[in-house]
Amino acid sequence: MTSGRAVALIGYGVAGEVFHAPLIAAAPGLRLASVVTRDPARRARLASAHPRAVALDDVDALWARAHEHDLVVVASPNDHHVAHAMAAIERGLAVVVDKPVASDAAGARRLAAAADDAGVVASAFHNRRYDGDFLTLRGLLADGALGEVWRYESRFERWRPAPRPGAWREQQPAAQGGGLLLDLGSHLVDQALVLFGPPSTVYGEVLVRRTGVHGDDDAFVALGWPAGLRAHLWMSAVAAQPGPRLRVLGSAGGYTIHGLDGQEDALRAGASPLDEGFGQTAPERRGHLGVEGETRPLPTARGDYLGFYTALAEALEGAGPVPVPLAEAVAGLEVLDAARRSAETGRVLNLEA
């Protein structure tokens, strides 16, 4: 039997199969013990990729074996996140909840309070903090390479003019955890808050562009800080020409990079985070640093999704901090809630008030 803390994974859709399972399997000090999925095709893929993991039909079967586990990872559809995480916490188990932790900040607060009361490790899976482009930007800001940052632009844009059959995020409304604002917007807002702290103002545009879609598929969020910094965040499934992934402008220079971090594509293709070269960005996809007429390509930091679970394993041993505390997920959802209220009223909201 492989040693390490036993992990139960709820859900083996894209989040569970592509992200969590291979990262858990690769993380030192953890082992994938159980996976909740009853779908025959998913069970077959699980048996092939992780033969030591036991497939369970439902969460009731997991709770009957709760004593065999140390950590529960919630990768079920968004509207089940709070209930599944609460049930794990009630059984004294540590928990990781995929983003968004809840459909709104109120649900995330309840979850965070329950984890605090129970004294269990609880974390939100914000893997995009470990994107290579984001890590590169954090380094530039720490070094003061851009001077005073004036504008921060961040995008996750795609071109999917036809809805995908069976895609629950497109079919479920926001109240049930659907839509891009909660999906990609959770990453965009989380990254902005990590870099610059809580904003003072929020403005949102939240739209449904495609026929037959019930979750928002085209959204924009603008954040403001008292010192004058402005952040513009785009998330769209109908962007025929996606803009730069990041464009950050400051008093001493700017940093612009196109394209997405390659870790997701690599995991989808069956790569392991332990593979040589995993997380590295090809030289031709580097971003550019500098000012007009004087820019240079800048090597991108190595992406490190595995770093989340490595840090989590250390936190479980009391050897380090929780990588993404639930309180930080609450802060992000407060901004997303405000963006939705702004979109409904057409007004800029003052969060300080």
Q: What pLDDT does residue 353 have? A: 64
pLDDT, tens only, 130-180: 999 999 999 999 999 999 999 999 999 999 998 887 676 777 777 778 899
Share of residues in the chain with pLDDT > 90 (%): 92
Cα–Cα separations (whole angstroms), residue 155 to 134, 181, 257, 322: 12, 12, 11, 27
What are the strands of the beta sheet with 149-157, ordered from one edge?
Answer: 294-298, 287-291, 254-257, 246-250, 149-157, 230-236, 218-224, 201-207, 349-350
pLDDT at position 300 over 60: yes
- Asked if the domains 5-126+308-324 and 128-303+334-350 are classified in one and the same CATH topology, the answer is no
Q: Of how many residues is the chain composed?
A: 353
Model confidence band, residue 43 (pLDDT cutoffs 50, 70, 90): very high
Residue predicted with more confidence, 213 or 325: 325
Q: What pLDDT does residue 1 have? A: 41
pLDDT, tens only, 331-341: 999 999 999 99
pLDDT, tens only, 91-137: 999 999 999 999 999 999 999 999 999 999 999 999 999 999 999 99
Q: What pLDDT does residue 171 have? A: 75
Average per-residue pLDDT in the chain?
96
Q: How far apart are CA 213 and CA 162, in angstroms?
A: 10
Q: What pLDDT does residue 165 have? A: 76
Model confidence band, residue 350 (pLDDT cutoffs 50, 70, 90): very high
**How many Cα neighbours within 13 Å face the side chain of 124?**
26
pLDDT at position 329 over 90: yes
Q: What pLDDT does residue 186 have? A: 97
> Across residues 233-239, what is the average pLDDT?
97
CATH H superfamily, domain 128-303+334-350: Dihydrodipicolinate Reductase; domain 2 (3.30.360.10)
Please name the fold of domain 5-126+308-324.
Rossmann fold (3.40.50)
pLDDT at position 2 over 60: no
Residue ranges per domain, the chain?
A: 5-126+308-324, 128-303+334-350
Task: Say if CB 168 and CB 134 are below 8 A apart.
Answer: no
> Across residues 195-221, what is the average pLDDT?
94
pLDDT, tens only, 71-86: 999 999 999 999 999 9
Q: Is this model's pTM higher than 0.75 or not?
A: yes
